[in-house]
Chain A
Amino acid sequence: MLLPPTDATIVARRAEIVAALREIVPHGVVADPSGLATFDSDALSAYHQMPLVCVLPSNRGQISQILKYAQEQGVPIVPRGAGTSLSGGALPREDGILIGMGRMKRIIEIDYENGCVVAEPGVTNLNITKAVEANGFYYAPDPSSQVACTIGGNVAENSGGLHCLKYGLTTNNLLGVTMVLPGGEIVTLGGKCGAQGGLDLLGLVTGSEGLLGVVVEVVVKILRKAPVTRTLLASFDTVPAAGACVAAIIADGVVPAAMEFMDRRAAEAIESYNQPGYPAGAEAILIIDADGVEADVSHAVSRVTDIVAKCGGKTIEATDEKQRARIWSGRKAAFAAMGKLAPDMICMDGTIPRHTLPYVLEEMAKLSEQHSLGFCNVFHAGDGNLHPLIVFDMMKPGEFERAEEFGADILRLCVKVGGVLSGEHGIGVEKRDLMTDMFSTADLEQQGRVKCAFDAQGLFNPGKVFPTLSACVEQGHIHVHGAQLPHPHLPRY
């Protein structure tokens, strides 16, 4: 992976920069090597880089001063939430200030009257739900890392989750943000009433991967928890039958809260890992959640059961909450289960038009042979978001590079069938160089000009999202062994 070259003149001024940051945040500057090592990677753990310095501000005033200083001095900035990005969005720079948002984790206001929560960016996704669940509310987007990932990081990545088929991504659940622009100015986009009185910059900033500024406050929608949720497990003898069933369910007008697909390899690995009770011998399995009021859910369940039967599948329904949890715990353990098959893995993330699924699965099997690497498929079937898991062994020379090539080929395949490079993990450094497979030069230049409208000096998260074509130097990979993700306790799906 090529990143923009380190500016040695900035590195040479390190002591001066550290001192200046200490003036702004007296007790929140990490500059010693062991402290900085904590921040040298995110969840794309193949890439490591020590930051020049890490600063942990406690309020927006400090952030404003930091950004003003950085712009005056021409120092790059990398914002970081909890560091759970799977695409390397928070990978530091040797010549850049890493701004960790971990200290800004207050929930500022819970407004049930207007169905929203105002929070600082360092609050974890799950803590928003926890703050309101006693009153029967929750925050809908549920990325798998929700116990650790921050709401600010969710805004940066436009995070999704299992339930976005019905409830949307972060962007559909975000009412407003306050952000500090490069240079230190503070602007508020949207808010409780949702109106912006101009261009929808809130929509633009969501999913901008830390390239446009630092979010210092969010207003998110909360929803009333559905009174009834039922879970179905459908098994099929062939993959095309499962694919056709997904299409038939969608076309029928049922909108499940979640609809997940697993191929045989994934289901078997999971079954041997934590025995969720998946039917043996099925080539494909769907897990389908229906939620809402009782009659709505009954209607959906009976429609889905009929359609599954018509498509040649068999349905089992979870009889109680415990079984429901067991079925989902299997799906959520897909990452860990695959870890049993090989020491290392990478999780890809592309979206395809759903009808191309059988073709894409077939092509992926061919690619797997070509690259001599195993893989399995878990897939947010409802919205066409694939998560192929490629398994390999870092210790075997060349395997990591082959795994990356295999992953890149899968994403090129997604683009070829009319899909996109990322459904919910973002581009970061991981897929940056594939952007030219999806976008023309004019497309990328247009996005580049939008970036410049916010950050004329190009100081925010350089080297992420957009391919940098000139004067790049190679940055080494650091060996990681034993499938040690930076957050091994987090489920990944």
Chain B
Amino acid sequence: MSKADNQAQVIEAVHAARADRSPFEIVAGGTRRGVGRPLLDSKGADLALLDVSGLSGIVKYEPEELILTAGPATPLGEISAALGGRGQRLGFDPADWSRLLKSNGTTTLAGAASSDASGSGRLRHGGARDSLLGFQAVNGLGESFRGGGKVVKNVTGFDLPKLVCGAYGTLCVLTEMTFRVYPKPQYSAVLCLADVSPEVGFAALRKIAHSALEPAGLAYLPASMLPEVGEGAALIKLEGARQPLEEKIALAHGLLAHGLLGNAMRRIEDDMFGAIGCGEKFADLPGDVWRVMVKASDAPRAARELNARYWLGDWAGGLIWLAAPPADAARIRAVAAGLQGQAMLLRASAESRAEHGLYAAQPPALAALNRAVKAAFDPLSLFNPGRL
């Protein structure tokens, strides 16, 4: 294992890897190493590691500009503490999967962005791709380059920050990242509509999603995931200053008044959305854990066809989490494909991840384009090869 604590050392490490054509795995907090295809060399041995955990720390935080620049390995906890002190939060809702994956270590900024790990807040705030403004990195030629900028509005050149998000470290070694941040709402409330079927629950959530209430979270949990709620519960998270929040709650009741659903809705104290977004509800359940993205209106059908005992729907139905036996992998992929959705295999054995990959295989032309773009950054395929 080699270690790179600054850009110059990253460049050195890439040149060394180029010289003997030896790919490596990029590791900072290490909490997401168990996601995607296992990284093995041609002889089936684990790849060498490049430890970049030293690329950590907030470089510049400008609350008035709504901008934060930090080392990619900065722990998310450190970032939210700094932002929270000024009443702000990251532009996206990063999800910490470490409990779900039972991984030790500290979850980092680049870890969350590179794995496109967004929690329930994605519905309202978008993903990491919507708030990463710019970055500095080292490509597979051992050159330092930048993508994007450090201002909130920028269309200068190709939008490389989008590519870096969700690329699982396959394009470059990040050395610095600049994110947009937002004011943090002062108050929040979670409303629970109990004892509703998936059809009724998801319909209620879509109604709120397409209102002017700007909800921060919309999830449906069946009885298997949340006892004492009858058939299942629709959860609605609203945010705002004190008075506006009260108005939004009243409006939510009004919107669901048809069929008297509004009356059955109660405010609850437990904000489950943190746990939902991080997949913690599945941490102690056996089996593989999947995130299946479908269009929100297909959520009840997806839940039915996926036919898992343990599942829940986030993003108003656009994301179905589920736990299933490893033997179900092909079936789950087929259901997702039938709904024009995408099934991501998040937690599984190394064998299963090697066999099924993180995502379903892409159509040939798209797969070729993905390979060509990867090669444009990393022609020798040195960085996390095959993970995506």
Contact (A424, B212) CB under 8 Å given A181-B369, A187-B365: no
Is the beta-carbon distance between B126 and A168 smaller than 8 angstroms? yes
Task: For the complex formed, measure the closest distance between the CB of B344 and the CB atoms of chain A, giving whole angstroms.
Answer: 8
Asked if B65 and A449 sit within 8 Å, CB to CB, the answer is: no
Determine if B152 is an interface residue (Cβ-Cβ < 8 Å).
Answer: yes
Q: Whole-angstrom distance between the alpha carbons of A159 and B161 in the complex?
A: 17
| Residue of A208, A251, A298 most packed against chain B (CB within 10 A) | A251
With A187-B363, A247-B64: A293-B342 Cβ-Cβ less than 8 Å = no
Contact flags B239-272 to A (C-beta < 8 A → 1, else 0):
0110110111001000000000000000000000
Is A193 a contact of B374 with CB atoms below 8 Å? no
* Complex-state Cα separation, A196 to B167, whole angstroms: 11
Q: Chain A residues near B163: list those with CB within 8 A.
A: 199-201, 203-204, 450
Per-residue 0/1 for B107-149: is the Cβ within 8 Å of any A Cβ (1 yes, 0 no)? Answer: 0000000001000000000100110000000010001111101
Q: Do B373 and A115 touch across chains, with their CB atoms under 8 A apart?
A: no
Smallest CB–CB gap between B304 and chain A, Å? Answer: 17
Which are the 5 A-B pairs with shortest beta-carbon distances?
A203-B162, A253-B183, A195-B342, A197-B359, A453-B372
Q: Which residue of B lies closest to A431 (CB)?
A: B156
In the complex, the answer to whether A383 meets B157 with C-beta atoms within 8 Å is: no
Report if A195-B293 is in contact (Cβ < 8 Å); known contacts: A293-B212, A465-B157.
Answer: yes
A292 to B296, CA, bound (A): 23
Other contacts beyond A207-B158, A439-B146: 5, CB < 8 A = A185-B365, A193-B340, A250-B65, A253-B88, A446-B139
Given contacts A193-B294, A419-B151, A420-B149, contact A207 B159 (CB under 8 A): yes
Q: Write out the residue numbers on chain B whose beta carbons fall within 8 Å of the beta carbon of A299.
A: 240-241, 243-244
A253 contacts B184, C-beta separation under 8 Å: yes
Contact A207–B155 (Cβ < 8 Å):
yes
Q: Which of B19-27, B50-58, B203-211, B275-283 contacts A (4 or more CB under 8 A)?
A: B203-211
Is B3 in the interface zone, CB < 8 Å from A?
A: no
List the one stretch of A3-11, A219-227, A280-288, A337-345 in contact with chain B.
Answer: A219-227
Are B363's CB and A427's CB within 8 A?
Answer: no
Given A114-B295, A351-B152, residue A206 in contact with residue B365 (CB < 8 A)? no
User: In the complex the two chains form, is B244's CB within 8 Å of A158's CB?
Assistant: no
B230 within 8 A of A: no
Asked whether any CB of chain A lies closer than 8 Å to the CB of B329, the reply is no
Give the interface of B toward A (CB within 8 A). Answer: 62-67, 86-88, 116, 126, 129-130, 139, 143-147, 149-163, 165-167, 171, 182-184, 186, 206, 209-214, 240-241, 243-244, 246-248, 251, 293-297, 318, 340-342, 344, 359-360, 362-363, 365-367, 369-370, 372-377, 388
Beta-carbon nearest neighbor of A352 in chain B: B151
Evaluate contact between B365 and A224: CB separation under 8 angstroms. Answer: no
Q: Given A113-B296, A254-B183, does the pair A446, B152 have CB atoms closer than 8 Å?
A: no
> Contacts A199-B167, A199-B388, A299-B244 given: A225-B369 contact, CB under 8 Å?
no
| Given A293-B212, A355-B64: A193 and B243 interface contact (C-beta under 8 Å) | no
Contact indicator A171/B162 (Cβ below 8 Å): yes
Q: In the complex, what residue of chain B is closest to A435 when comparing beta carbons?
A: B157
The closest CB in chain A to the CB of B368 belongs to A185
At the interface, yes or no: A172 with Cβ under 8 Å from chain B? Answer: yes
Contact for B154 among A200, A250, A420, CB less than 8 A: A420
A31 within 8 A of B: no
Q: How far is the CB of B144 from chain A (nearest CB, A)?
A: 7
**Is A194 part of the binding interface, using a Cβ–Cβ cutoff of 8 Å?**
yes
A380 to B373, CA, bound (A): 34
Q: Mind listing 24 A-B residue pairs with CB under 8 Å? A: A115-B296, A172-B130, A185-B365, A188-B366, A191-B340, A194-B293, A195-B293, A195-B344, A204-B160, A206-B159, A224-B212, A250-B64, A293-B251, A295-B247, A355-B62, A355-B64, A355-B65, A420-B154, A427-B156, A435-B156, A439-B146, A440-B145, A442-B145, A465-B157
